[in-house]
Chains A and B, each alone.
Chain A
Amino acid sequence: MSGTFVGMPAFPKAAHEAVHDRTLRGNLRHATHTIRGKRAKAVAELADWAELREAGKRIKDHTLRHLDRYLVQLEESVTAAGGTVHWAADADEANRIVADLVKETGESEVVKVKSMATQEIGLNEALEAEGIRAYETDLAELIVQLGKDRPSHILVPAIHRNRGEIREIFAREMSEWGRPAPDGLTDTPAELAEAARLHLREKFLRAKVGVSGANFMVAETGTLVVVESEGNGRMCLTLPETLISVVGIEKIVPTWQDLEVFLQTLPRSSTAERMNPYTSTWTGTTDEDGPRHFHLVLLDNGRTDTLADEVGRQALRCIRCSACLNVCPVYERAGGHAYGSVYPGPIGAILSPQLRGTASEIDASLPYASSLCGACYEVCPVAIDIPEVLVHLRERVVEGGPVTRAGNKVVLQPAKGHAAERAAMRAARWAFSRPGVLRTGQRLASRTRRIHPRTLPGPGRAWSGTRDLPPVPAEPFRDWWQRTQNAKGGAE
């Protein structure tokens, strides 16, 4: 994925700072709670929400089951409509294809529609290395780009910033990239939006190449779909002469009719809108209207490997609505950056370790970045059982086992650093398989309870640093039970 996240520390370490950053906690709490409440209202309006959710799940599962067929159908449809399809096995290949396509046009700048796939492959950085400047045109992506920052949310990548911080970034950085911010810019939302609008307008009108992702690709007609709120996407998709779309292979739906489901569930889940303001669809190229050249780069980058795992593959149903981020108590406190990926939050915790593998410190720690509270699963519009996949990936980390990497079956070794835990789990299983041993342990704990410390040394500090230990009772329940039952038995 994006080079900007390479070398991230494990999740707990990265979260440590965020938890103690009061401004960040405040920003995130305010933003996630607001959108959480709005989403709940928007979803409650639909009497058939449960059916829509089930339908979305089934359409995605069906498509993934027959992905080979639908991808070929899509390629044929796009080609027939005047587009060109490119296949990219990984991030490097996709970046190279896009850079070459831009160079062929003779241009040195592109305007971008907000896209997770291009974030995932680090396209902006790759283009920069080739002397091509990519301008983000989504308001929040613009804030992130101008602030030399990293996105921390799928839908609202600048969620960690408040109005004051955004005003600062605009006033300081806009002149470096083009039209400067107006003098005396305040932090009112209307003024900030107007500054962005003026800054971006010249880019839209000048650009000859647009780069996008897509929310959906319709196999039967070769139509791509982008849903958005700001209209910047519409500008990038229609004004340039060349349009290059980089899309994950799992974004296919078989027919237009299937869109009916997702165009209801996606806006309500993500922005809590009944319908998003702009839905752009395009099919190849059209004479005298829109881009003259259209290229579709189909991105694998770990998706086929993910598809091979029968528990983990449900993560590929994701439509990137970010409802799971907005309800996640861990995301709310750790912030998006701690996840070390363009995909933060609960969905990121199951996507990143599958797309990238569990070899790095951050990826091996992500499956544990959850209390398994299940709020994510409850709101997911395609019913991804995120807790189930998290536990499955924990197993992969501690036990190893068969996985698919770059199309090959390999057997992972158990991750290092879990030896003590593994020994403890085995010991506990051994003791719990023998009620007598458990009882001896309980009695020992009860008899020594007066000398138990209030706080624990070493790893135990993880508990007792912030929480008192529960007092151990004078006798475990089973001793009381046996004592009183025996007494009863004797009396009878």
Chain B
Amino acid sequence: MRVALFLTCVNDTLYPDTGRAVVKLLTRLGVEVDFPMAQTCCGQAHYNTGYRHEAEPLARHFAEVFGDYEAIVTPSGSCGAMVRELYPRMGERARAEGRGDTLAATLAPVVPKTYELTEFLVDVLGVTDVGAYYPHTVTYHPTCHGLRGLGLGERPTRLLRAVKGLELVELPGAEECCGFGGTFALKNADVSAAMGADKVRNAESTGAEVLCAADNSCLMHLGGTMTRLRTGMRPVHIAEILASTKEEPAV
């Protein structure tokens, strides 16, 4: 199976380790991974800040770049939700504005074949034990757009439970937002920081070494809060845990 890795602009620029982990993991599972070099950004930040019309060319670009692949896999719940939930809505809005079906028709092909990483593993590949080894105590934060947008449910924790050496501890208040929220983190910095600090304290209370999530934007906010609060915990993307093996452990 040949799939396109939609890494997202944030991961491409700031978290290349997550990208390498996805490639390593999927290759290990027999999937042929391609990274279309023309990919940029799905337009989520534009859309959610109120710049839907600025997001439209980015969505069209996405559809052009990824349209020919069998499946599109992304290690980001929120960017995955952008394509799956909000691209159809962008099409509807364009139609309501009297601009016809062109946008909806352009975006439609990529919508059903875009998968968040844990969804792709569990639903498409049908695996929960990916042969990983990660000898650490981990607590998992289900990020909002993965949890409530895509409905990832138990998929991430089922994958984590199957990792050898990994001890999964429950995060109190797991389903509460971490406070990142894209431009919310800047526009309402006080509330965002208070939410982040509460999430970090909850994570700390578990005694885990690692706070795991399936979205690096949230982990960027939480990781930045952790070092500022000097907690000693580490934020790690789920792809890096699942890619880790005894022979090639994640650092």
Interface of B is mostly: helix
CA distance in complex: A375, B188 (Å): 18
In angstroms, Cα B55 to Cα A71, docked, is 41
B185 / chain A contacts, CB cutoff of 8 Å: 462-463, 467
Residues 18-56 of chain B, each 1 if its beta carbon lies under 8 Å from chain A, else 0: 011001000000000001011111010111111111110
Interface residues of A in 362-413 (CB under 8 A from B): 367-375, 377-378, 388, 391, 393-399
Q: What mask results when residues 439 to 483 of chain A are scored 1 for a CB within 8 Å of chain B, else 0?
A: 000100100000000000001001101111110110111101110
Q: Does B162 contact A (CB under 8 A)?
A: no
Number of interface residues of A (CB under 8 A): 66
Contacts of B223 in A (CB 8 A): 468, 470
Query: In chain A, what residue has the closest Cβ to B225?
Result: A467
In terms of DSSP, what is the predominant structure of the interface of chain A? Answer: helix
Contact with A along B190-202 (1 / 0, CB 8 A): 1111111100000
User: With contacts defined as CB atoms under 8 Å apart, how many contacts are there between chain A and chain B in the complex?
Assistant: 195
A477-B54 in contact (CB<8A):
no
Interface residues of B in 165-179 (CB under 8 A from A): 175-177, 179
Q: Does B186 contact A (CB under 8 A)?
A: yes
Which residues of chain B are near A395, meaning CB under 8 Å? 50-52
In contact, A435 and B37 (Cβ under 8 angstroms): yes
B8-16, B104-112, B120-128, B130-138 - interface stretch: B8-16
B4 CB → nearest A CB, Å: 12
CA distance A229 to B15 in the complex (A): 53
Chain B residues in 8 Å Cβ range of A399: 50-53
Given contacts A373-B181, A374-B148, contact A397 B58 (CB under 8 A): no
Task: Name 16 extra pairs, CB < 8 A, besides A374-B145, A466-B196, A473-B16.
Answer: A311-B93, A368-B187, A370-B184, A371-B181, A373-B148, A399-B52, A421-B49, A428-B45, A429-B51, A445-B13, A462-B186, A465-B189, A472-B14, A473-B15, A473-B17, A478-B37
Question: What are 21 A-B contacts defined by CB distance under 8 Å?
Answer: A12-B191, A371-B144, A375-B177, A388-B89, A395-B52, A398-B51, A425-B54, A429-B43, A429-B51, A433-B57, A433-B61, A435-B40, A445-B13, A463-B186, A463-B189, A466-B189, A473-B14, A476-B12, A477-B15, A478-B12, A481-B23
> What residues make up the interface of A, taking CB atoms closer than 8 Å to B?
11-12, 15-16, 19-20, 25, 310-311, 329-330, 333-334, 367-375, 377-378, 388, 391, 393-399, 421-422, 425-426, 428-429, 431-435, 438, 442, 445, 459, 462-463, 465-470, 472-473, 475-478, 480-482, 485
